[in-house]
Amino acid sequence: MNEMLVNLVPVLKEGFSMMLVGMGTVLIFLCIMICAMFIMSACVKKLNEIFPEPVAATAGAKKQTKSSDDSEIAAAIVAAMFSKK
């Protein structure tokens, strides 16, 4: 029993060190990826200033006006209620 515990300690130390190396690798990769995304975002913003996208002009388009006529809405609700009875 004692020999098994003596053999287990180096294995646990090695496993813990491998876990730390793996987690460190992932952390470094994520930091590099975040930095790369910030750099790409800055490049895209700069390119958008140099080459802006053309905006389609909608001249003469009719604007819809909101009708806040509550009596028409109330009439529609009453008609729907009576049509189901």
The tens digit of pLDDT for each residue in 55-71 reads: 777 766 566 666 667 88
- 5-42 residue pLDDT tens: 788 888 999 999 999 999 999 999 999 999 999 999 99
| 3-state percent breakdown (helix, strand, coil) of the chain, nearest 5 | 75, 0, 25
Which carries the bigger pLDDT value, residue 22 or residue 84? 22
pLDDT band (50, 70, 90) for residue 53: confident
Dist. CA 43–CA 47, nearest whole Å: 6
Query: pTM score, two decimals?
Result: 0.53
Q: Find the mean pLDDT for residues 74-82.
A: 87
